[in-house]
Chain A
Amino acid sequence: MAKLTNISCLLLCATCGASPLFSVAQQAMTYNGLVKDKQLNVGLAGATIRTSSGKYTSTDNEGKFQLLTSPGDSLTITSVGYDSYRVALTSTPTLIIPLVKSATQLEETVVIGYGSIKKSSLTASVSKIENKNLDQVPSARPETALQGRLPGLNISQTRSTPGAAPVIRIRGIGSISAGNDPLLVVDGFPGASWSNINANDIESIEVLKDASAASIYGSRASGGVIIITTRTGKAGKPVVRANVLAGWSQPILHDDFMNSQEYYETIIKYQNREYFYVGGDTSLPLWGDSRRPAGYQVNPDILNGNDVNWQNAVTKNAPFQSYDLSVTGGTEQSKYYLSAVYKDQQGTLLNTFFKSYGMRASVDTKINERFQIGAMLNPTYQSARTSPLTMDSYNKYPPFVAIQNPDGSYPKARDYWGFNVSSQANPMGILMGTNNQGQTLSALGNIYAVYKILDGLTLKTTLNANMFYNNTDKFQASWASNTGLSSGSAADSRIITLLNENTLNYNRTFAQHHDVSLMAGASYQKATSRNINLLAVNGTFNNNIIETLNNALINPNGSNTLKSVWGMISYFGRANYAYKEKYLLSASIRTDGSSRFGPDNKWGLFPSASAAWRISKENFMLDQELISDFKLRASLGNSGNMNIGDFAYLGLVTGGLYTVNDQTQNWLAQSSFGNNKLSWEKTNEFDLGIDLSFWTNRLSITADYYRKRTKNLLYQVSIPSTTGFTSSLSNIGEIENKGFEFDLNSKNLIGKLKWNTNFNFSFNRNKVINLGGVNERMTSISYGMNWLLRVGEPMFSYYGYKHIGVFQREEQLNSLPKLTGEKLGNPIYEDINKDGKITADDRSILGNFMPKSYWGMTNAFSYRNFDLSFTLQAVIGSKMYNFENQFYQGSVLGNMRKSLVAGSWWSPQEPGDGHTPALSLSQLSFNANSDLYIEDASFLALRNINFGYTFPTDLSSKMGIKSLRLFTSVNNAFLLTKKGFHAYNPEGYTGGEVGGISSTPGYNVGSEPISRVYTFGLNLSF
């Protein structure tokens, strides 16, 4: 203990080393130094100077430093990105220290779980993005800015509502029910949320793609792991950085909705066709003749002069603004980072918005040579107003309805055409009279201590807390509701997660050539949640003014409080060994115990091993200059998935209401089967990779092949219902994903005109290997489309009939095979098994929502003070079940899109193009069960183009500014889709992705238009 005190004293003195008051060394003198970049010949701010006697200082903004010490000491000067420099002091009081940039890009370090490693020593497949300009891509969410940037990481913006989270997938989909989201680790906190992250605070993002890297996170790593490291304080004078962005989003809309005259003419044909189908005489007058039933009439009043394009009426060009401010500084002993952000994004759909307020504060302090502590706090507040309905509910409204009556009320289609037409409320009324809002307050915080036990051996303890509060308030006025009834609900939820992690790290080089690093740790996590739900009885609001539920009757069926809890204990370790930086080995193991699994299987074990050979370090490679780095990697790893309900292994008892003598009473009954054997879903992954660089890293290539098998799938397996239940959560089945990834970085030009290119692509093939005894399982929806899980095929493939024509003539009906009930105008299906009949056996696989390949390319140019970059993204081979088309074909007598009704069968006299069948609600089941609504959703998008100008240093420094850059950018500058694709957004799926045995991925009804976003902004630092 005495020794410790001595050291602290020494360090304390060193802290104020520059002050003569505390001078302890004799014959000390003041040294003045300048640290500069050798190539650029400019001073380097924030470089660290350390004396052999233990004193520290760092350089100021101009790279200068002053140090009081004795000659004979030696100085070590370090700065991030530069080789360290060592100099012995003489009696000369001025020093000029030229630092050389670190030789290779491969020397950068990469954050892996519970530590970091030199990129050159990596044995696993890990991609890294440093935050150089992510914060310049205007987006309410940071992950959107990553689109097209990394191979194997697919980010799709399935919904375009303000602030909506995109779907992120790493190397395909392996789980049916337990989720496929990658684990997000923010500053060591696993399970963090993207919505807490402000792009400007990100230092780097690492994606642990293969299981050998991810398995250190064990039971939660099946979907891959994304690690975000945020900016922390840097020693030196305070540096203030500000990003200010403003602009607007322009929805990319359809241009083929009918006007009211076209609508009127088409609806007549539509009604006559319906009447023809029930054997009616279509020559009867359309209106006012009782011989034609009301359901087949057309009210001429709808040609009333109104001509509303509802799509245009409910959307607008929406402004947004974003302000980001950060300050960093401190001394070598204590560093701080402070930031604040405010974002305000209006939705392109009226009455929607997303606002975000956040701040982050972190401080790191070295108490002494061995002991460092720090803390971080990151509160975020978000507020959003969302649309109650999907886009199809608004844009298909018939054009003859006025947006608003002169008296301020909102007319309905039925006010004009009493019968038959959609009874939905006026879209503008719905948007104005519905107030669905959600607010989230979350705070992520941690404190940590690092203790250096011996040289190379450190102990780190971290305590993390994540607090999450969310409230949702919904209200719909009676006049905004389809049913004419007011409705409302309120919900509060709270989740508190506590995490303690303790790690021991040991790094040492033995006998010059043997690099060893060891890590061991333990982690304890607990999360508790509480929800309060309140529901109003529909129609009981006293008035349409007060939106809170004290103004209504509370519905006991749907009002409750709920609590839950889960916990986990983990032990883990990792060993890395390198010989002469040539032969690299790594192995890790983790064991997790989780409260979510049955007593027989609480603990899971997740090992991994990987190896790499750096051929470029071999002697025979040293004499050439072409190849600067050449590495082969191979890895095997095991990771898990625990994303099921907190108590899913237990036979739970839940209840509801039963009415006895007009009094509602509670009942209770067992609602699920217990399963003590319930255990982890496990993924085994094998990865082979190559890293290759040429001409001192002018060109570098990374390629990976992987095969991933997810076993013991956690899903609701069907069981005989004689048990009283139809399914039971079990570990059954196996899914395979295998694929190839390629990443190329090239510095095409490095002179005055600089040009860098990143190009990447990846392929993934998904296949069901085993479903646990059965060969296939199918999910069907109304009107006949099916999603098939079949051994040997990709998960959730579309399954139905192939339509090869239309019954245009009576003789076709008599000669060709058909489904029961088919008549003129219905599709001719392909008789797959050639038995002369159309039966369920003639259905076949019609494609899949999963893309076959992903492509991305970013080009960055700079010339003098100008810079330009653009990112292209292409996704090939995905198929969408675009069921919303039927709405735009008149199925509820709503407005239609010309491209969707063109060529359809109207009558024996107007039989259409022979490919497009009769389109109506009554015929829908003959169309929807086929490939008619399956569309190729491949696309090519210019996701972002960014043009900037940086003011010259001499000009900006006169203004007291370190750097100033002005820029303008356009998101989604163009989007090309295939001919025959009709939705707004090729990634816009409303049916959700894979999330359970009854998933309908690829289903779309009413996804929102994506936006072209124009931005102007400035990046400023001083």
Chain B
Amino acid sequence: MKLNITILLLASSLLFGSCTDELLNTIPPSSLTDINYYNDANDMEKAVLGIYAKMQSRKPNDYQLLELSSDNLYGSTNTGFAGIPEIDALAISPNNPILTAFWQESYAGIFRANAVISNIDKPKDYTESKKNQHLGEAKFMRALFYFDLVRTFGAVPKVLTALSIDEARQYKRSATEAIYDQIIQDLNDAIEKLPLKSALSRNRASKEAALALLGKVYVAKKDWTNAETVLRQFFTSYGDNYMLVADYNQLWSLENENNSEVLFSIGYTDGTNGQDLSTAFVPNGGIYNLVSRGSEVALPSWSLHKKIQADDTRLRKTVESNYFSAVSGGQNAIYFPYASKFIVKHTALAAGLDLPVLRLADVILLYAEALNENGKLGDAITQLNKIRQRAFGSQNHNYSIDQLTQKDQFVTALLDERQIELAFECERWYDLVRQGKMTAVMKVEERNYNPSSQIAQKVTLSPKDYMHLFPIPQTEIDLVGKTILEQNPGY
């Protein structure tokens, strides 16, 4: 009998001993791991879309950092949003959660781009053109993320491969110049590898987009010679493929997302894969016929509103003053100006409208800026007038060489034009900083205009030169130490 028991025990322990693997070394049934990914061309395709997806999630929030800081938007009291009040008051602390998220999301995008670039040779089953395309897309996106970082923070850590946690703790900032060099190198690679937009899609990086972005990078760097060269090259090579959309309002419609002006935009699908930017500026009560409810995070400043002339066709798609709430039945408008650019008929918080990253009007104005800086004022005015003419539907508002005789005068006109043309597209802050106008312009911001009394609320701010760069997020500094990640001066 004792023998029986012993056998029983032995048998049971053997029985279960054999299932150690089954019990302890389980394999995730619903997820790949970093070990069995990037194996074939299809994996790389998914991985590349993953890079775009980071921009897809970051882009709709960029206005919180880049437009509320500028004189285009101010925070509505309707919505409490951690971090917005201090950006709005131009008192950005290193602990600001929006700033921190911008940094983190950008590096998350860079990580995905690096993963594609590092693993590009692993799959053996794609055609050479696909491989080139993916490499080009990854480099384009990496450049784009670094471009945003370098303009916002200046010198930042230059990460080009996957880092371990220990490596990351030792990783210092690279000089602004080194970051720009990397961006330019990546974009030149991208220009070489990427196919034309006609072979791809507006929602993926193309050769033209890479070239135009390179021009924009030179402008940001104030390397005017190269900027002019590259942008001229863009217009010479691809100028025929792109043209301004005749009606500015058509730029911001769902039917016309694939317009002749778009170089690269981030794609969204209403309801299932939408963005919330279209809801962000909608007044709390929604808008009749368009959306049932709004987030009302921010409202347009009077500083911007007052600059747009009544006969400027861009007004309606920038600031809409007559407000019809969702339940108004389209009757009895209330005076309540809201930022209308991205507002289309959409599912609340999940709009399908593409968000442009790079469009022709921006490139034309960049070219105009570079021409002016290189002393070609006449050519610059010609470029600027293309935008004016489209905006007013006639040449009546075109600038003449007599109006803008000085380089400086042109810069002022150009900045105003860019402010209106590219309002809420997150260019204003960078424009002011680049042209050294930030501290002058941002001293007073006008908000909350009362048409009866014709008085706007004037908010006095304290812009300082050091604010040209935002602070490095404190959480990042705390994690590596302030000798590794030095804070920008002034903070």
Question: B33–A651 contact, CB under 8 A?
Answer: yes
A620 lies within 8 A of chain B by Cβ: no
Give every chain B residue within 8 A of A669 (Cβ-Cβ): 47, 50-51, 53, 112, 115
Give every chain A residue within 8 A of B475 (Cβ-Cβ): 718
Given A419-B334, A567-B22, A668-B46, 20 additional A-B pairs, CB 8 A: A291-B450, A294-B334, A419-B325, A538-B348, A539-B271, A539-B347, A561-B30, A566-B26, A567-B26, A593-B20, A650-B28, A653-B31, A660-B267, A662-B269, A720-B169, A720-B476, A723-B162, A724-B108, A724-B112, A820-B91
Known A-B contacts A568-B23, A784-B82; the reply to A661 vs B201 at CB < 8 A is yes
The smallest C-beta distance from B230 to any residue of chain A, in angstroms, reads 27
Interface-facing stretch out of A354-362, A385-393, A678-686, A918-926: A918-926
Question: A418–B56 contact, CB under 8 A?
Answer: no
Question: A290–B32 contact, CB under 8 A?
Answer: no
The smallest C-beta distance from A512 to any residue of chain B, in angstroms, reads 27
Pick the contact of B111: A4, A602, A723, A924 (CB < 8 A).
Answer: A723
Give every chain A residue within 8 A of B350 (Cβ-Cβ): 538
Question: 8 nearest interchain CB pairs?
Answer: A724-B111, A567-B23, A659-B267, A669-B50, A651-B34, A667-B49, A922-B77, A484-B292
Give every chain A residue within 8 A of B48 (Cβ-Cβ): 667
Question: A294–B335 contact, CB under 8 A?
Answer: yes
Question: B46–A652 contact, CB under 8 A?
Answer: no
Pick the contact of B32: A295, A657, A660, A668 (CB < 8 A).
Answer: A668
Question: B12–A661 contact, CB under 8 A?
Answer: no
Question: A291–B31 contact, CB under 8 A?
Answer: no
Q: Give residues 57-106 of B contacting A (CB, 8 Å).
A: 77-78, 80-82, 85, 89, 91, 93, 95, 97, 103-104
A414 lies within 8 A of chain B by Cβ: yes
Pick the contact of A722: B53, B78, B91, B171 (CB < 8 A).
Answer: B171
Question: B268–A485 contact, CB under 8 A?
Answer: no
For A504, give the chain B residue with the smallest CB separation.
B9
Pick the contact of A820: B20, B37, B89, B97 (CB < 8 A).
Answer: B89
Known A-B contacts A723-B163, A922-B77; the reply to A821 vs B85 at CB < 8 A is yes
For A599, give the chain B residue with the smallest CB separation.
B25
B16 lies within 8 A of chain A by Cβ: yes
The smallest C-beta distance from A145 to any residue of chain B, in angstroms, reads 37
Known A-B contacts A723-B163, A783-B80; the reply to A569 vs B347 at CB < 8 A is no
* A/B interface sample: 26 pairs, CB < 8 A: A290-B335, A418-B285, A423-B284, A459-B5, A483-B292, A564-B30, A567-B24, A567-B26, A569-B20, A594-B24, A652-B33, A660-B203, A665-B49, A667-B50, A668-B37, A668-B47, A669-B53, A670-B112, A720-B168, A721-B108, A723-B107, A723-B163, A724-B108, A724-B111, A724-B114, A780-B82
Give every chain A residue within 8 A of B202 (Cβ-Cβ): 661
In the complex, which of the residues B114, B171, B452 has the most CB atoms of chain A within 10 Å of its own CB atom? Answer: B452
Give every chain B residue within 8 A of A419 (Cβ-Cβ): 285, 325, 334, 336
The size of the chain A interface, using a CB distance under 8 A, is 100
Question: B47–A418 contact, CB under 8 A?
Answer: no
Pick the contact of A500: B1, B16, B93 (CB < 8 A).
Answer: B16
Question: A522–B13 contact, CB under 8 A?
Answer: yes
| A132, B471: Cα distance in complex, Å | 65
| A664, B49: Cα distance in complex, Å | 11
Question: B49–A660 contact, CB under 8 A?
Answer: yes
Give every chain B residue within 8 A of A553 (Cβ-Cβ): 271
In the complex, which of the residues A1, A562, A595 has the most CB atoms of chain B within 10 Å of its own CB atom? Answer: A595
Q: Give residues 128-185 of B contacting A (CB, 8 Å).
A: 157, 159, 162-165, 168-169, 171
Question: B93–A569 contact, CB under 8 A?
Answer: no
Q: Give residues 712-730 of A contacting B (CB, 8 Å).
A: 718-726, 728
Known A-B contacts A294-B335, A726-B104; the reply to A502 vs B23 at CB < 8 A is no
Pick the contact of B168: A482, A539, A650, A722 (CB < 8 A).
Answer: A722
A908 lies within 8 A of chain B by Cβ: no
Give every chain A residue within 8 A of B328 (Cβ-Cβ): 418
Known A-B contacts A667-B49, A720-B168; the reply to A423 vs B108 at CB < 8 A is no
Give every chain A residue within 8 A of B37 (Cβ-Cβ): 653, 668, 670
A673 lies within 8 A of chain B by Cβ: yes
Question: B23–A569 contact, CB under 8 A?
Answer: yes
Give every chain A residue within 8 A of B78 (Cβ-Cβ): 921
| A253, B3: Cα distance in complex, Å | 71
| A924, B93: Cα distance in complex, Å | 20
A557 lies within 8 A of chain B by Cβ: yes
Q: Give residues 314-345 of B contacting A (CB, 8 Å).
A: 325-328, 332, 334-336
For B157, give the chain A residue with the smallest CB separation.
A722
For B21, give the chain A residue with the smallest CB separation.
A567
B240 lies within 8 A of chain A by Cβ: no
The smallest C-beta distance from B428 to any residue of chain A, in angstroms, reads 23
| A555, B273: Cα distance in complex, Å | 9
Pick the contact of A782: B81, B111, B169, B267 (CB < 8 A).
Answer: B81
Known A-B contacts A453-B2, A673-B165; the reply to A564 vs B50 at CB < 8 A is no
Please report whether the interface of chain A is mostly helix, strand, loop or mixed according to DSSP. mixed
Give every chain B residue within 8 A of A666 (Cβ-Cβ): 46, 49
* Binary contact readout A242-285 vs B (1 if CB under 8 angstroms, 0 otherwise): 00000000000000000000000000000000000011100000
Give every chain B residue within 8 A of A500 (Cβ-Cβ): 16
| A13, B480: Cα distance in complex, Å | 80
Question: A555–B16 contact, CB under 8 A?
Answer: no
The smallest C-beta distance from A627 to any residue of chain B, in angstroms, reads 46
Give every chain A residue within 8 A of B163 (Cβ-Cβ): 720, 722-724
The smallest C-beta distance from B202 to any residue of chain A, in angstroms, reads 7
B110 lies within 8 A of chain A by Cβ: yes
Question: B50–A720 contact, CB under 8 A?
Answer: no
B253 lies within 8 A of chain A by Cβ: no
Question: A483–B111 contact, CB under 8 A?
Answer: no
Give every chain A residue within 8 A of B81 (Cβ-Cβ): 782
Q: Give residues 815-837 of A contacting B (CB, 8 Å).
A: 820-821
Q: Give residues 403-427 of A contacting B (CB, 8 Å).
A: 412, 414-415, 418-419, 423
Known A-B contacts A291-B453, A526-B23; the reply to A720 vs B480 at CB < 8 A is yes
* Binary contact readout B231-258 vs A (1 if CB under 8 angstroms, 0 otherwise): 0000000000000000000000000011
Pick the contact of B272: A1, A414, A537, A650 (CB < 8 A).
Answer: A537
| A293, B447: Cα distance in complex, Å | 13
Give every chain B residue within 8 A of A958 (Cβ-Cβ): none
Question: A719–B165 contact, CB under 8 A?
Answer: yes
Question: A484–B20 contact, CB under 8 A?
Answer: no
The smallest C-beta distance from B444 to any residue of chain A, in angstroms, reads 15
A524 lies within 8 A of chain B by Cβ: yes
Give every chain B residue within 8 A of A656 (Cβ-Cβ): 53
Q: Give residues 408-452 of B contacting A (CB, 8 Å).
A: 448, 450-452
| A483, B46: Cα distance in complex, Å | 34
For B108, give the chain A residue with the smallest CB separation.
A724
Q: Give residues 435-486 of A contacting B (CB, 8 Å).
A: 451, 453, 459, 461, 482-485
The smallest C-beta distance from A219 to any residue of chain B, in angstroms, reads 13
A556 lies within 8 A of chain B by Cβ: yes
Pick the contact of A661: B30, B267, B271 (CB < 8 A).
Answer: B267
Pick the contact of B108: A565, A653, A725 (CB < 8 A).
Answer: A725
For A524, give the chain B residue with the smallest CB separation.
B16
Question: A722–B325 contact, CB under 8 A?
Answer: no
Known A-B contacts A293-B335, A669-B53; the reply to A664 vs B82 at CB < 8 A is no
| A924, B81: Cα distance in complex, Å | 11
B468 lies within 8 A of chain A by Cβ: no
Known A-B contacts A485-B292, A658-B53, A667-B52; the reply to A557 vs B82 at CB < 8 A is no
B489 lies within 8 A of chain A by Cβ: no
B286 lies within 8 A of chain A by Cβ: yes
Give every chain B residue within 8 A of A492 (Cβ-Cβ): none
| A122, B183: Cα distance in complex, Å | 71
B401 lies within 8 A of chain A by Cβ: no
The smallest C-beta distance from A553 to any residue of chain B, in angstroms, reads 8
Question: B271–A537 contact, CB under 8 A?
Answer: yes
Give every chain B residue within 8 A of A37 (Cβ-Cβ): none
For A537, give the chain B residue with the smallest CB separation.
B271
Question: B31–A652 contact, CB under 8 A?
Answer: yes
